[in-house]
């Protein structure tokens, strides 16, 4: 059983699990500590220096709460004049280097930087002094599914760590140094030339609007279901607007996938409403495909199966089908069609 730790944050009694950071304990209790580079699924790196807190008593010091573990009897203050002063300068430096065209950003109102700036507040005069001309760094539009806008990036490294720690791909990293630092593929090459697998896990975790899905549309309602692409059974939440699928995201509550999706599950939903999608059987007649009813199509298939029994026949089963359907299909191939020519797409 996990050992419980009692501490005080801003005078409130907090019970945390041993091994937890002060930031996680505070957030679980509903106490907001500003943060940008923290993500609960990733190793902390302490890059943004916004999550400062003051520890009182025998351990008295100012620390970053995303890397400091809770201790029994600890007394923590998250808001003091000294912390406020440091945080405000940190926020102003980040905002001064950030594209502030928020109304044209898909993350507007959902942006972690907006929340931090709103909480901490900024000194307008100092910000005006710090503000640099817009960076206008080239946007990486090379990936077919998403766009990376370095002018909106806060260099929190969440995308880099997601690609490394969660996906184990290491397609991106920080390139250049100092003011020129940015996230890119190896050798500052575009995403498409890296070994990015387009899973989109980095987009999900980007706290600002630097990584966004192309043609993103906000749904009016969402439907929880299971991804239909393979047999893994990943949970997917599909977004619907005007009776069309407009988005897909991982279902955090699904025990098989825990919120993660691959490129197919995340971006492969557009076929559903595609005008070229076949919605009824087609049979070739006089060299042209014509629409027919299901009875006619299935009779044709059954007749041709009957004429092609034995080793002339081969079946490839599908990972989209259930275990039971796959079992029945191999049984059908062996017992009815009289051949062992049966395989499965997942063996590839």
Does 38 participate in binding ligand FES (rule CB under 6 A)?
yes
Residues binding ligand FES: number (CB under 6 A): 12
Does 112 participate in binding ligand FES (rule CB under 6 A)?
no
Tokens of 170: 């290491």
Cα–Cα distance for residue pair 206/67, rounded to 1 Å: 20
Among 22, 36, 55, 94, binds ligand FES (CB under 6 A): 36
Q: Where are the alpha helices (DSSP H) in the chain?
A: 22-28, 81-96, 112-120, 124-130, 158-161, 201-205, 263-267, 294-307, 323-331
Q: Is 269 helix (H, G, I), strand (E, B) or coil?
A: coil
Cα–Cα distance for residue pair 238/272, rounded to 1 Å: 12
Question: Hunting for tokens 């949970």 — which residue is that?
Answer: 235
Among 9, 26, 66, 117, binds ligand FES (CB under 6 A): 66
Q: Directed axis angle between helix 112-120 and helix 81-96, to 10°?
A: 140
Does 64 participate in binding ligand FES (rule CB under 6 A)?
yes
Does 155 participate in binding ligand FES (rule CB under 6 A)?
no
| Total length of the chain | 348
Nearest distance from C-beta of residue 156 to ligand FES, angstroms: 7
User: Which residue number is nearest to ligand FES in terms of Cβ?
Assistant: 66
Among 48, 91, 237, 337, binds ligand FES (CB under 6 A): 48
Q: Is 6 helix (H, G, I), strand (E, B) or coil?
A: strand
Binding part of the chain for ligand FES, among 44-52, 168-176, 189-197, 224-232 by CB under 6 A, reads 44-52
Among 31, 47, 217, 300, binds ligand FES (CB under 6 A): 47
Nearest distance from C-beta of residue 97 to ligand FES, angstroms: 16
Does 35 participate in binding ligand FES (rule CB under 6 A)?
yes
Among 8, 29, 49, 115, binds ligand FES (CB under 6 A): 49
Whether the Cβ atoms of residue 212 and residue 177 lie closer than 8 Å to each other: no
Closest CB to ligand FES among residues 36, 236? 36
Tokens of 98: 């950030």
Question: Hunting for tokens 């005069």 — which residue is that?
Answer: 125
What contacts 308, CB < 8 A, 6 or more positions away? none
Does 76 participate in binding ligand FES (rule CB under 6 A)?
no
Does 63 participate in binding ligand FES (rule CB under 6 A)?
no
45 CB-contact burial (10 Å; exposed 0-12 / middle 13-18 / buried 19+): middle
Binding part of the chain for ligand FES, among 40-48, 89-97, 106-114, 203-211 by CB under 6 A, reads 40-48
Binding part of the chain for ligand FES, among 34-42, 106-114, 200-208, 236-244 by CB under 6 A, reads 34-42
Nearest distance from C-beta of residue 83 to ligand FES, angstroms: 12
Q: Which residues bind ligand FES (CB under 6 A)?
A: 35-38, 46-51, 64, 66
């Amino acid at each position: 059983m996990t050992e419980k730790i009692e501490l005080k944050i801003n005078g409130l009694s907090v019970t945390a699990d041993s091994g937890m950071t002060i930031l996680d304990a505070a957030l679980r209790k509903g106490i907001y500590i500003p943060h940008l580079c923290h993500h609960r699924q990733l190793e902390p790196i302490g890059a943004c220096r916004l999550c400062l807190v003051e520890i009182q008593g025998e351990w008295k010091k100012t620390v970053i709460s995303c890397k400091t573990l809770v201790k029994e009897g600890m007394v923590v203050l998250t808001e003091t004049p000294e912390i406020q002063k440091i945080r405000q300068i940190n926020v102003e430096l980040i905002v001064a280097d950030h594209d502030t065209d928020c109304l044209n950003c898909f993350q507007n109102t959902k942006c972690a930087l907006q929340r931090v700036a709103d909480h901490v507040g900024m000194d307008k005069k100092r910000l005006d002094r710090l503000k640099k001309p817009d960076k206008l760094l080239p946007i990486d539009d090379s990936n077919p599914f998403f766009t990376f806008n370095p002018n909106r990036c806060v260099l929190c490294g969440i995308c880099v760590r997601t690609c490394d720690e969660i996906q184990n791909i290491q397609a991106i990293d920080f390139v250049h140094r100092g003011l020129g630092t940015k996230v890119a593929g190896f050798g500052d090459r575009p995403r498409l030339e890296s070994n990015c697998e387009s899973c989109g896990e980095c987009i999900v975790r980007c706290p600002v609007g630097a990584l966004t899905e192309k043609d993103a549309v906000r749904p009016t309602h969402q439907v929880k279901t299971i991804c239909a692409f393979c047999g893994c059974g990943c949970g997917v939440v599909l977004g619907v607007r005007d009776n069309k699928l407009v988005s897909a995201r991982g279902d955090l509550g699904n025990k098989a996938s825990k919120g993660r999706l691959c490129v197919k599950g995340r971006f492969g939903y557009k076929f559903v409403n595609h005008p070229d999608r076949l919605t009824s059987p087609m049979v070739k007649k006089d060299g042209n495909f014509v629409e027919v009813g299901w009875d006619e199509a299935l009779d044709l298939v059954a007749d041709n199966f009957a004429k092609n029994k034995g080793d002339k026949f081969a079946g490839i089963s599908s990972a989209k089908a259930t275990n039971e359907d796959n079992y029945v299909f191999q049984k059908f191939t062996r017992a009815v069609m009289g051949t062992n020519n049966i395989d499965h797409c997942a063996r590839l």
